[in-house]
Structure 1
Amino acid sequence: MQKTLYPASASTSFTLNTESVHQLYIETSGNPLGIPVVFLHGGPGSSCNNNHRRYFNPEHYYIICFDQRGCGLSTPHGELTDNTSQHLVADIERIREHLNIPRWLVFGGSWGASLGLLYAQAHPQRVSGMILRGSFLAREQDLFWFAQHGASEEFPEAWQAFIQDIPQGERHDLVAAYYQRLHHGDNDTQLKYAAIWSVWSGKVATYNLGQRTDKHSANNAITNDAQRQTDPALVRKVKIETHYAQHRYFIAENQILDNLHQLPKVPVTIIHGELDKTCLHTASRALAAGIANSEFIQLADTGHLIEEANMIAALVDATDRFVRQYQ
């Protein structure tokens, strides 16, 4: 029988000032005397939700979830000033210090895996282990697959909708084209292109779930995404995502793989769905090859999302096994 999410546990929340205009929204739950774990959400531009704490046994874990700068309930919402990978790594360390945690398990997926690896390379002595899902390595090839050529071959109709309003002369760099419209366009332009970006991103991320629904439901989901263009929060979210993409995540090309030797010698579990069309499974394989004694798990019939049943089962199993390793 597959493992499922733990029941929802009560949480407490607080905000934490940074050295900048940003205030971080943080939630803690579980057992304060348990194994500390920090949950790093994806995006950039996404946020945590109430299910994220449910991947950990609340009797054994002290669970820390937070919304990254400009995201979710952190304020100011959508703020791009002082919003770089280096600032986010500093925020993780700031939260750890505030909570007086000596070391913690780093749990991250997609962009959260990138951020977790950057943090572990910068502060190896503060990491007790890592669980990484659908890892994104923030290389040119990883971004190119999603926003230039790769996923485009998998979803040709959705891709045409993504590029049709971009002039031919700008299609050689679609990240730059969308960045220009989202960050320098008028309000209507920002709303329009945030919605188009969101529909493409959602198609690539959720297609494995869409295969399990009837066509009418899938079409409704796309329509609902398009209708979200009236929501300014969507614009702020996509602006953060394109801010990071345009600046190549504020790190050197191949920085994560080039610095694997800086990671602590701790248990590392790397999980990737073989049907993931958002993040390349070769990225996770490269991580596993470069991290001695890491465990690589490729899941059949599984895509990118943390909410897929096989992914839930594998992640909960990984957190349960870490409890046994930790003791």
Structure 2
Amino acid sequence: MTTGLYPRSTSISTVINTESVHQIYVEASGNPQGIPVVFLHGGPGSSCNQNHRRYFNQEHYYIIAFDQRGCGLSTPKGELSDNTTQDLIHDIEAIRQHFNITQWLIFGGSWGACLGLLYAQAFPHRVSGMILRGCFLGREQDLFWFAQQGASALFPDAWQAFIQDIPEAEQADLVKAFYQRLHHGDHTSQLKYAGIWSDWSSKVATHNLSSGASARVPDDALILKVRIETHYALHRYFIDENQILNNIDKLPKVPVTIIHGELDRTCLLSASQQLSASIANSELIELANTGHLIEEKNMIDALVNSTDRYVEMLQYTAETATK
């Protein structure tokens, strides 16, 4: 059993042009003759980093990681036009075509798991398997838990700090309240509310870590990140209510492993349980003493063990990995 992350691998970066103003930053690493895998980062609004390549044995995997529209090193940074879930799905497919990959493994957590599932439903023949972490299904109840009522009862002091500057009349829809301030407020207001949103998100995500995470000093980069997050949240992730579970039959019949921390307070464990129950022969791994973040030790070990097992399950060769 492998424990810990694999060593860092070198990568080659490229930029994928779209039919819009967006240019997508992509990194490829590992073995071009290995199992193709696409890493889908969370958020929306986050980005990839070099540690994300370390969940895969670079001798056996060809690792493709990219920053979603407006995120990380993709440009224009923070751009919201032509930035919807459907656009991201088509970006994933464009990246696959760019690298001449026939099928690839989907690896995503939180929002990345949601995006991976939607891509697999749109392009089922392009998916060889799925490893999903801390699944977020983009339903009203999933967003409500985080941003309205649910996690609020678990962290009352942090919740009070989150809502205290929002007038009571607006507290029935906190996503809308923050969206208005982040997208239409002046710069000072945007800095303030980006910091408040980020502090709440960090508290919920890092509660299981002994050291926790220090509050991030609000800056323009944080404004852009939270603007993307609230852009997607306000528009309910640009999908129909319960779209993933209602279209579960569109998923390909491939190996699916779902891993969820029992102490995850950002994404509901019940979402992963419902998802697993809906996918025949899927594997659900519930991790004790584990929260939401990919960096937690138990989560690292479970994810690396899964990618190792998929090497044997998928048994890719150079001829089947590319066209």
TM-score grouping bracket, smaller chain normalisation: over 0.9
| Structure 1 position 179, deviation (Å) | 0.4
CA contact (8 A) 2:2 2:305 kept: no
Question: What is the alpha-carbon distance in structure 2 between the residues aligned to residue 111 and residue 192 of structure 1?
Answer: 25
Q: Which residue of 1 aligns with 2:277?
A: 289
Q: Which residue of 1 aligns with 2:142?
A: 142
| Structure 1 position 163, deviation (Å) | 0.1
- Paired letter, 2:119: Y
Q: Which residue of 2 aligns with 1:302?
A: 290
CA contact (8 A) 2:2 2:304 kept: no
Q: Which residue of 2 aligns with 1:277?
A: 265
Q: Which residue of 2 aligns with 1:86?
A: 86
Q: Which residue of 2 aligns with 1:317?
A: 305
1:239 maps to 2:227: yes
* Secondary structure of the structure 2 residue equivalent to 1:72: coil
Question: What is the alpha-carbon distance in structure 2 between the residues aligned to residue 31 and residue 64 of structure 1?
Answer: 11
CA contact (8 A) 2:31 2:60 kept: yes
| Structure 1 position 2, deviation (Å) | 5.9
Q: Which residue of 2 aligns with 1:160?
A: 160
Q: Which residue of 2 aligns with 1:117?
A: 117
Q: Deviations over 1:204-249 (max 9, x none)?
A: 001101xx23xxxx5xx44x42xx21x1000000000000000000
Matches within 5 A, 1:51-200: 51-200=51-200
| Structure 1 position 3, deviation (Å) | 1.1
CA contact (8 A) 2:182 2:194 kept: yes
Question: What is the alpha-carbon distance in structure 1 between the residues aligned to residue 151 and residue 141 of structure 2?
Answer: 12
Question: What is the alpha-carbon distance in structure 2 between the residues aligned to residue 184 and residue 232 of structure 1?
Answer: 15
Q: Structure 1: any 5+ residue segments left out of the alignment?
A: none
Q: Structure 2: any 5+ residue segments left out of the alignment?
A: 316-323
Question: What is the alpha-carbon distance in structure 1 between the residues aligned to residue 310 and residue 245 of structure 2?
Answer: 24
* Secondary structure of the structure 1 residue equivalent to 2:38: strand
* Secondary structure of the structure 2 residue equivalent to 1:203: helix
- Paired letter, 2:106: V
- Paired letter, 1:275: L
Q: Structure 1 vs Structure 2: percent identity of aligned residues?
A: 73
Q: Which residue of 1 aligns with 2:256?
A: 268
Q: CA RMSD in A?
A: 0.8
Question: What is the alpha-carbon distance in structure 1 between the residues aligned to residue 314 and residue 74 of structure 2?
Answer: 32
Q: Which residue of 1 aligns with 2:45?
A: 45
Q: Deviations over 1:78-118 (max 9, x none)?
A: 00000000000000000000110000000000000000000
Question: What is the alpha-carbon distance in structure 1 between the residues aligned to residue 204 and residue 41 of structure 2?
Answer: 18
Question: What is the alpha-carbon distance in structure 2 between the residues aligned to residue 16 and residue 261 of structure 1?
Answer: 31
Question: What is the alpha-carbon distance in structure 1 between the residues aligned to residue 291 and residue 106 of structure 2?
Answer: 22
Aligned length: 315
* Secondary structure of the structure 2 residue equivalent to 1:208: coil
CA contact (8 A) 2:124 2:252 kept: yes
Q: Which residue of 2 aligns with 1:205?
A: 205
Question: What is the alpha-carbon distance in structure 2 between the residues aligned to residue 275 and residue 101 of structure 1?
Answer: 37
- Paired letter, 1:91: D
* Secondary structure of the structure 2 residue equivalent to 1:51: helix
Question: What is the alpha-carbon distance in structure 1 between the residues aligned to residue 269 and residue 132 of structure 2?
Answer: 12
Q: Which residue of 1 aligns with 2:319?
A: none
Question: What is the alpha-carbon distance in structure 2 between the residues aligned to residue 2 and residue 324 of structure 1?
Answer: 14
| Structure 1 position 191, deviation (Å) | 0.5
- Paired letter, 1:284: S
Q: Deviations over 1:111-140 (max 9, x none)?
A: 000000000000000000000000000000
Question: What is the alpha-carbon distance in structure 2 between the residues aligned to residue 259 and residue 5 of structure 1?
Answer: 34
TM-score relative to the length of structure 1: 0.95
TM-score relative to the length of structure 2: 0.97
